[in-house]
Chain A
Amino acid sequence: MTSKSSTDYQRGAWAFLGPGAALVVIVLYLPVIYTLVLSFTRYGGLADPVFVGGANYVEMFADPAFLGSLVNTAIWVVGTLIIPVGIGLLIAYLSFGLRWAGILRIPFLIPYALSGVAVGVLFGFVLQNGGALSQALAFFGLPGSDTRWLQESPLNTVVMILAASWQGIGVNALLFTVGLQSIPKEPLEAARIDGASGFTLFRTMVWPLLRPSTTIVVGLSIVNSLKTFDIVQAMTQGGPNRVSETLGVTMYKDTFVNSDYGLGSAVAIFLSVITVAASVIYLRRQLSIGNGSDAGRITAEVSS
C-alpha cells in the first residue's frame, strides 16, 4: 500500500510541487546568489563591483560590535522561543473549546493587525524615558519609573522582546489553535478513560499530538528571530552606541546606511547560513519523526 502511493504518483506529484517550487526558486533564490556574489566584492551601489575575495568576511568578524550583535541575536532567538511560543500555546489551550473562544482570542490578534507605523509610535510612547510605562509606575507609586528601558543593555533587548511578543503571540496562538483542532478524538478519549486529566493529559497526549503545530511555530520563530530587524530599528536603531544591535540591523546599516553593499551582503550570507543550519537541525529531527509514525493521524470519515 505504502509503496503504491510513493511510486505511482510521481508525475502527478511534480505537477503539484512544480509551479510553487519553480516560482520560489526563481524569485527567492536568484537574489541570494546575487548577494553571495556581492559579498566577495566592494560595491557602493553605483560604480561596478570590484572583486575583493574574502575581505568583507574578515572585516565583518574584525568589527568589535559584531560579537555584541551576535549575542543580542542569540538572546532574541531564546527569548522569542520562551515568551511568544509559551504564552501563545497557553492562550490557544485555555481558549480551546470555550464558547467565547473567538472573541477571547481577538485582543491577542489585534496587535498583529496593526501597521508598522502604529507599532513604532506605540512602543515609543510606552518605552521611552518618562513614557507611558514610567508614568504608570509613578502613578501607582511603584519603583522603576526612572528606568531607562531602551538605553541600558541588555535591558533594552529584553523589553523589545516583550514588545515583539505582545505583537506576535496571537499568531502563535492561532497556529496552535489549528493544531489543537486537528488532534483526533479517539486517543484522548482512551487516555481519559485511563484516568488522565489536566496537566497529565496535556503532557502525555496533547503535547505529543501537537507536534506538527509546534514544529511550525518553533521553526518560524527561529527563522524570524534570527532576522529580527523592524522593531529594533524603530525603537533604538541598534543603539545607544550599537549595544542593542542584531545581525539584521548590522546588515541593514552596512548596506543601506553606509552603502557598503559588499559588507552588508557578507553579514546577510552569514546570517542565512546560521539560519539554514538551525532550521536543518531542528526540522530534520521534527519532520522525520512526523513522517515516520502514523500515530495520531486522523482516520477521518471520507465523505465525497
Chain B
Amino acid sequence: MRFPKPLLLAAAAVAAVSMLAGCSASGGSPDKLKFVNDKSWDFKAFSKVSQDQIDMGLDASTYADQDAFVAFVKQSLRTGKAPALFTWHTGGQLEELVDQGLVAETSSIWKEEIAKGDVAESVKDLYTIDGKQYCTPISVDNWVMYYDKAAYAEYGLQVPTTWQQLMDNAEVLKSHGIAPFWSSGGNPWAFVWFQIILAGSDLQLYKDLAAGKASYTDPGVVDAMNVWLDMEKKGFFSDPGSKTAPETQMKDGKLAMIPFGTWYASTISQVLKEGDDWGAFPIPSITDQGSTPVAIETAPVCATVKSSQKADALKYSQWWMSAKAQTAWSKQQGNLPFNPKSTASTQTFRDIGKEFAEPDKYDFYLRYYEATPTPILTAALDQFTGFMTNPGDPEPYLKGIEQVAKKYWADH
C-alpha cells in the first residue's frame, strides 16, 4: 500500500514554516525602545516628540485587557523576553516585581529630578520601596469632580467648597430629575464612592485599612458606608446598571457630576467642551481634617533589569519627567502635568493645578485601586457592586470583605 506522504508533509510544513518564521522574527527597529503598555494612549504621536528631542522613539504594543497584560508582563519577565519599557501600577503590584529584582532601580534619576524641581516629593513616595525608587511616572493624576456647567447654571448652583454644599447641590439636581453623581458597579469603578467617603471622613482610617492595620468592620468604616447608604437612599447616584458612558449621560442631561482622575479630560472632551460645558473642582472633605484629601493615581513606566536597552530605557524614563516632555504629554492627553514647570494645556486644569499647589491645603493619598492588595480589592469590588445594586445594611458586605482581608493579612 502507498503511504500518504502529502499528509505527513503538510504536518511537517506547519512545523517548518513555524521554525523559519521564528528565525526571522522581527524584534522591532533597533533604534526604538520596545515598549508594552495597557493604555489606549497615543504613544505613536509621543514617540515622534521624543524622536525630535532626544533622538529616541518608542516601539509600542498595547494590551488593553489589563488582566491579560499583567499576566503577560509577569510571564515575559520570567522568560527573559521582556521589553525595555513597560507600563505598570504602583502599590502591591510594583512591590511584587521589586521583590524579584525584575525592574531597574531609578533612585539616582529621582534624586536629580527632585533637585531640579521637576517632580514633588509626595510623588516620589509612591515609587519608593524599602528606601529605594523604582520606575518613573508617565503621568500623575489627581482625582477631581467633573461637573456639568449647564446644569449648574440652570439651577443657580455654585461650585461647592464644603461637603454640605455638595450635598445641597445634589438635592437640588435630584429634585429636577438629574442624577447628581455617577456611580458604576464592577471592576474597576465600584470602589470610587467608598474611597471618596472614607478618605473624606477619616483619611488615617483609610490608610490603616489599606495597610491592614484596621478592619472593614470597624465602626468608622461602617459609618462611612452609612453615609454612602444615605446618599443611595436619597437617589443621588446614576444607575450602576447602566453601561452608557458617563460623559454621554452628562451630555444627555441625565447626570451632573463625575468623580475621576485628570486623565478623564481627554475622554469627556470628545463629547463636551472643556471650559464651556464642563469644569472640575476638588472634592471637599466630609469632616474637618485640617487639609482636604485628594486621591492620586500614577501611571509608572518601568525599565527591565535584563533588557539590552536598559541604559536607553532609563534615559527615556528620565526625559519623560522633564518639563518639555510633560508639556508635550499634557498637550496630547489634555491632563494635568505633574512637573510644576510644565503648563497644563487647558485653563480648567491650569486653575486646578494652581489650587492643588497651595501649601498644606491638600493631602494627597493613593487611590484605593492601587492601595489595596489585589485579593482584597477583588472581594471589595464585588461587595461594593452588590451594595450599590441593592442598597441596604452595609454590614454583611463589609463582613464579606473582612473575611478575605483577614485571611490575606494573616499570610502577609
Contact between chain A and chain B defined by CB under 8 Å? yes
Which of B1-9, B45-53, B106-114, B150-158 binds A?
Answer: B1-9
Q: A15-B3, A257-B67 are in contact. Are A240 and B375 (CB under 8 A)?
A: no
Which residues of B, 85-104, contact A by the 8 Å Cβ criterion? 96-97, 99-100, 102
CB-based contact A9/B1 at 8 Å = yes
Q: Which of A122-130, A176-184, A296-304 contacts B (4 or more CB under 8 A)?
A: A122-130
A148 CA to B100 CA in the complex, in Å? 46
- Interface membership of A19, Cβ < 8 A: yes
- The A contact surface, by secondary structure, is loop
1/0 per residue, CB under 8 A from A, across B217-261: the answer is: 000000000000000000000011111100000000000000000
Question: B102 near A46 (CB under 8 angstroms)?
Answer: yes
* A149-B185 Cα distance, complex, nearest whole Å: 15
Q: Are A241 and B244 in contact (CB under 8 A)?
A: no
What chain B residues lie within 8 Å of A124 (beta carbons)?
A: 243
Contact yes or no, A46 B187, CB < 8 A:
no
The answer to whether B1 and A129 touch across the interface, beta carbons within 8 angstroms, is no
Nearest residue (CB) in A for B15 is A23
Chain A residue total in the interface (Cβ 8 A): 37
* Partner of A239 from B11, B186, B244 at Cβ < 8 Å: B186
- Pair A12/B4 contact, Cβ less than 8 Å: yes
How many whole Å from A18's CB to the nearest CB in chain B? Answer: 8
Q: Are B378 and A256 in contact (CB under 8 A)?
A: no
Cβ-based interface call for A209 (8 A): no
Q: How far is the CB of B411 from chain A (nearest CB, A)?
A: 9
| A44/B96 in contact, CB under 8 A | yes
Do B187 and A19 touch (CB < 8 A)? Answer: no
Q: Which residues of B contact A47 (CB under 8 A)?
A: 99-100
Complex partner residue of B375 from A9, A242, A258, CB under 8 angstroms: A258
A130 nearest CB across to chain B (Å):
6
* Interface bits B370-382 vs A (CB < 8 Å: 1, else 0): 0000110010001
Q: Which residues of A contact B7 (CB under 8 A)?
A: 15-16, 19
**CB–CB A128/B382 < 8 A:** no
Contact of B78 with A by CB under 8 A: yes
Contact string against B for A residues 140-157, beta-carbon threshold 8 Å, 1 for contact and 0 otherwise? 000000001011000000
- Mark interface residues in B54-74 (1 if CB within 8 Å of A CB, else 0): 000000000000011011001
A253-B242 in contact (CB<8A): no
A9-B1 Cα distance, complex, nearest whole Å: 9
B10 within 8 A of A: yes
Given contacts A15-B7, A241-B386, 5 further A-B contacts (CB under 8 A): A45-B75, A46-B78, A240-B389, A256-B71, A257-B374
User: Can you show 15 pairs from A to B with CB atoms below 8 A apart?
Assistant: A9-B1, A15-B3, A15-B8, A16-B4, A45-B75, A46-B97, A129-B241, A237-B187, A240-B185, A240-B186, A240-B388, A241-B387, A255-B71, A256-B67, A259-B71
